[in-house]
Amino acid sequence: MFKGSIVALITPFNKNKLDEDSYISLIDFHLKNGTKGLVPAGTTGESPTLNHNEHERVIELCVKESKGKIPVIAGTGSNSTDEAISLTKYAEKIGANAALVVTPYYNKPTQEGLYQHFKAINDNCSIPIIIYNIPPRSVVDMSVDTMARLYELKNIVGVKDATGDLNRVDQQKKKMGPDFIQLSGEDATALEFNMRGGTGCISVSANVAPKLCSEFQEASISKNNSNLVAKAKSINEKLQPLHKALFIESSPSPVKYAASLLNLCSDDVRLPLVKITDKTKKEVKSAMTYANLID
């Protein structure tokens, strides 16, 4: 169920308020352009600055608007275990297909702390849980052994891996087996990730290049077909400047600017994030032109 190009949805704002109309249009844009899954209220959706009601509303709108056409993997992580449980239970109640739960940031829990955090969420819900392992932002790295312990629980089904270490794909596959879902958290290395056994990507670039990202993922997952591998490499080359440009400044500021160029939403972000500089705007425009997303 959870494979291919899955978009880490941005959350549109208008004058610092949730822009529901643009958000609904954005979801429709993905339904029409081949995206295989939606992640509302993840960190790309600026979850750290959404209040609790907004967080729930963003998930609710996504489930309602997608109408079961593609899976919704709700971002329900927190560095408070109780809050993560509450958000995950809410996502389950309104019909999300899974929850994406980030490793607790700032607290810096031990491996046992990580295990107990995810076990508590697992024990309080019945929805599939995907671990989001992103050491550069959370300052903790869940070990493969801890992940294997969690995979023994009823609801833990996979990982969004943003460690930047492609060897982890091999290690996790060896330890947990082929049924453990491995999704890349980095667009730039998604090709090699899939070649090693990954099954997709939770993508930032897919916000503005959904069709290309979907075609790329479908081709790269079919790694035993030489023609499709060649197609994946060709699309990957076209998208690499975009992957790079969208992280010149703090995400999601660059991708929100890119979305504004496609009239999908404004480039408004919430403090402490700010809009990107003119220099970065030029880089984003250049990358989008290279990928034939704009003229």
Query: Are the beta carbons of 221 and 5 closer than 8 angstroms?
Result: no
pLDDT for 31:
98
Query: Are the beta carbons of 141 and 105 closer than 8 angstroms?
Result: no
Multiple choice CATH, 4-221, 3.20.20.70, 3.40.1360.10, 1.20.120.1200, 3.40.50.970: 3.20.20.70
Q: Which residues contact 34 (CB under 8 A, 6 or more apart)?
A: 5, 210, 211, 214, 215
Q: What residues are labeled active site?
A: 132, 160
Distances from the Cα of 7 to the Cα of 42, 73, 118, 209, 250, angstroms? 10, 10, 23, 10, 18
pLDDT for 226:
85
pLDDT for 26:
98
Query: Are the beta carbons of 102 and 118 closer than 8 angstroms?
Result: no
Sign of CA dihedral 253, 258, 261, 265: negative
DSSP letters along 155-224, please?
SEEEEEE-SS-THHHHHHHHHH-TTSEEEES-GGGHHHHHHTT--EEEESGGGT-HHHHHHHHHHHH-TT
DSSP letters along 109-125, please?
--HHHHHHHHHHHHHT-
C-alpha–C-alpha distance, residues 123 and 294, integer Å: 47
User: How many residues in total does the chain contain?
Assistant: 295
Residues of the chain falling short of pLDDT 70: none
C-alpha–C-alpha distance, residues 73 and 60, integer Å: 12
pLDDT for 131:
98
Residue 200 is encoded by which pair of tokens? 């997709």
pLDDT for 211:
98
Angle at which helices 253-261 and 226-245 cross, to 10°: 110
What is the reported pTM?
Answer: 0.97
Angle at which helices 52-66 and 81-94 cross, to 10°: 30
pLDDT for 146:
98
pLDDT for 103:
98
pLDDT for 242:
98
Q: How many Cα atoms are found within 13 Å in the side-chain-facing hemisphere of 14?
A: 7
pLDDT for 279:
98
